[in-house]
């Protein structure tokens, strides 16, 4: 009897270079959703790629960018769904890239490009796994497969929730693998059981019709000062978020969650070195450090006011803006937080600070005991020869919430080609070729076994 797992591995090893080339092809097409650059062209390319791999495609228009669906029918009634996205973060600052972000380059065993990991590399690795499973089964698939690839993940997936609600027939499935996944800083395969929600807003103040000479600063109100004071009011001296009721609905980690944290390795030193951190937020360390993902955050993502170039300009800025994102833990509701933020600013006297909602996602969290999680664990430990780790909650956000509930509380896990240090959203984003291979091997085994899973 031929060992199917060996067949999968051999296929993927032999064809790795081709899949890296295909990832490069996809990364060379910019698709910056934040400024709608190349997004539609990238959608067309993704359709071509899905069809190249034998999937039947459908393109669904939304009020934003199209959602692409690729489907293949298998030998069982069971369906596994993959969620990915074809958009990427803006590449700036360009000066910090070793090679240009949209000219993919392989060096030192890795592919460098914006999207190399997040999320174009993840997407192509799954298609590689699909090809490998088909190859091992003489062209057929043991289960049905559905790919959902959207184009607005990096701007908060504003249209995916509605899309899922309106297309539950197309998306019907028994489990899903999320856009990200891979290994932790120690090289162990890892999944997360959920992720935080997000509320992304812009705060804007206008105090004058035009910038003024700073010799008038004893009279003329300064927009930058108003903004700084409004922002400062959002946090207590101890770092807690000062918005009344902000923590009211937040669910702290459960006892099983805390046990999972205990089994996770320390990432303090890795983070400290990667980012050159002298002291973490609130002086966090040890167990508190591991569990801090259950601390919701208020992050200033950007500040703009007045003179920002070299040298001096003695000006009173007429306008000032800040981009702010709140990361929310299970049971917090971005709609509710938006209302409380506005109320806080009004109560503190900042009625002149306009708050514009730029995006929102809700938190999501699955159970560690789910059989699908156990299947992923078994196969991960076979591929990586290392213990599988389960993180109760990821720090980032994703539209899992928008899939899991409408599709019948399906379990959703992460698996893929990431390594926790891929510089996603930063200059010199990359994916390691070894990680790409292992991610594809892991996905291929899950696909191969998924039909056998009874649940």
Using CB under 8 A as the binding rule, the residues of this chain from 355 to 374 that contact a second copy are 358-359
**CA 361, 274, 436: angle at the middle one, nearest 5?**
70
8 A C-beta contact, residue 192 and residue 444 = no
Q: Of these, 245, 252, 302, 408, which contacts a second copy (CB under 8 A)?
A: 302
When asked if residue 97 is in the footprint of a second copy (CB under 8 A), the reply is no
As a whole number of angstroms, the distance between CA 296 and CA 425 comes to: 20
Tell me which residues in 376-405 interact with a second copy (CB under 8 A): 394-397
SS3 40: helix
Sign of CA dihedral 396, 399, 404, 405: positive
**Is the Cβ–Cβ distance between 367 and 193 less than 8 Å?**
yes
First CA to last CA distance, the chain = 28
Nearest approach, Cβ of 338 to a second copy (angstroms)?
15
Q: Which of 138, 210, 236, 255 binds a second copy (CB under 8 A)?
A: 210
8 A C-beta contact, residue 144 and residue 76? yes
Q: List the one residue from 10, 58, 62, 304 that touches a second copy (CB under 8 A).
A: 304
Helix H or strand E segment including 11:
helix 4-27
> If binding is defined by CB under 8 A, does position 114 make contact with a second copy?
no
154 counts as binding a second copy under rule CB under 8 A: yes
Number of shown-chain residues binding a second copy (CB under 8 A): 91
Does position 204 bind a second copy by CB under 8 A?
A: no
Cα Rg of the chain, angstroms: 23
Q: Is 251 in the site for a second copy (CB under 8 A)?
A: no
Among 105, 204, 315, 355, binds a second copy (CB under 8 A): 315
Instruction: Give residue for tokens 């184009």.
Output: 151
The reply on whether position 136 binds a second copy by CB under 8 A is no
Report H helices in 195-239: 223-232
Q: Decide: is 271 part of the binding site for a second copy (CB under 8 A).
A: yes
Question: Using omega within 30 degrees of 0 as the cis cutoff, is the peptide bond preceding 119 cis?
Answer: yes
Size of the chain in residues: 455
Minimum separation from the CB atom of position 128 to a second copy (A): 26
Q: Which residue has the tokens 């499935």?
A: 173
Q: Which of 52, 107, 162, 307 binds a second copy (CB under 8 A)?
A: 307
Q: Which of residues 159-178 bind a second copy (CB under 8 A)?
A: none
Query: Residue 153 has what DSSP assignment?
Result: G
| Residue 149 C-beta: closest distance to a second copy, Å | 20
Under the binding rule (CB under 8 A), the answer on residue 317 touching a second copy is: yes
Residue of the chain from 100, 109, 215, 371 that contacts a second copy (CB under 8 A)? 215
Q: Which of 292, 355, 387, 453 binds a second copy (CB under 8 A)?
A: 292
Residues in region 34-63 near a second copy by CB under 8 A: 34-35
Question: Is the distance from CB of 95 to CB of 77 less than 8 angstroms?
Answer: no
Residues of this chain, 220-239, that bind a second copy according to CB under 8 A: 220-222, 224-225, 227-229, 231-232, 235
Q: Does 264 bind a second copy (CB under 8 A)?
A: no
Question: Applying CB under 8 A, which of residues 301, 339, 343, 371 lies at the interface with a second copy?
Answer: 301
For 116, the token pair is 């190399």
């Amino acid at each position: 009897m031929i060992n199917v797992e060996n067949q999968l591995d051999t296929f993927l090893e032999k064809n790795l270079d081709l899949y890296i080339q295909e990832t490069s092809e996809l990364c060379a097409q910019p698709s910056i959703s934040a400024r709608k650059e190349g997004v539609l062209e990238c959608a067309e390319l993704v359709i071509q790629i899905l069809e190249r791999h034998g999937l039947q495609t459908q393109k669904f228009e939304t009020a934003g960018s199209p959602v692409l669906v690729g489907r293949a029918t298998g030998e069982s009634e069971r369906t596994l769904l993959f969620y990915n996205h074809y958009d990427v973060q803006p590449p700036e600052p360009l000066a910090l890239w070793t090679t240009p972000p949209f000219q993919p380059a392989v060096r030192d065993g890795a592919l460098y490009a914006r999207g190399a990991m997040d999320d174009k590399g993840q997407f192509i690795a799954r298609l590689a796994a699909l090809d490998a499973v088909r190859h091992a089964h003489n062209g057929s698939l043991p289960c049905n497969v559905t790919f959902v690839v959207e184009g607005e993940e990096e701007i908060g997936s504003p249209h995916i929730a509605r899309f899922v609600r309106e297309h539950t027939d197309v998306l019907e499935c028994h489990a899903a693998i999320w856009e990200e996944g891979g290994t932790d800083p120690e090289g162990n395969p890892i999944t997360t059981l959920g992720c935080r929600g997000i509320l992304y807003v812009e705060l804007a103040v206008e105090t004058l019709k035009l910038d003024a000479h700073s010799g008038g600063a004893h009279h003329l109100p300064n927009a930058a000062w108003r903004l700084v004071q409004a922002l400062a009011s959002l946090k207590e001296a101890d770092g807690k978020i000062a918005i009344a009721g902000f923590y009211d609905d937040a669910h702290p980690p459960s006892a099983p969650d805390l046990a999972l944290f205990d089994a996770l390795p320390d990432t303090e030193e890795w983070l400290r070195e990667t980012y050159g951190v002298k002291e973490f937020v609130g002086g966090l360390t040890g167990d508190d450090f591991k569990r801090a993902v259950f601390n919701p955050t208020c992050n200033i993502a950007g500040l703009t006011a007045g003179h920002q170039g070299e040298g001096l300009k003695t000006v009173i800025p007429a306008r000032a803006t800040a981009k702010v994102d709140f990361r929310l833990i299970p049971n917090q509701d971005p709609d509710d937080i938006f209302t409380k933020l506005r109320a806080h600013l009004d109560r503190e006297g900042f009625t002149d600070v306009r708050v514009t909602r730029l995006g929102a996602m809700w938190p999501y969290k699955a159970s560690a005991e789910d059989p699908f999680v156990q299947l992923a664990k078994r196969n991960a430990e076979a591929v990586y020869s290392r213990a599988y780790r389960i993180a109760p909650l990821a720090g980032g956000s994703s539209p899992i919430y928008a899939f899991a509930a409408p599709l019948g509380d399906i379990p959703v896990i992460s698996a893929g080609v990431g390594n926790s240090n891929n510089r996603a959203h930063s200059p010199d984003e990359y994916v390691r070729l070894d990680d790409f291979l292992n991610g594809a091997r892991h996905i291929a085994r899950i696909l191969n076994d998924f039909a056998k899973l009874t649940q």
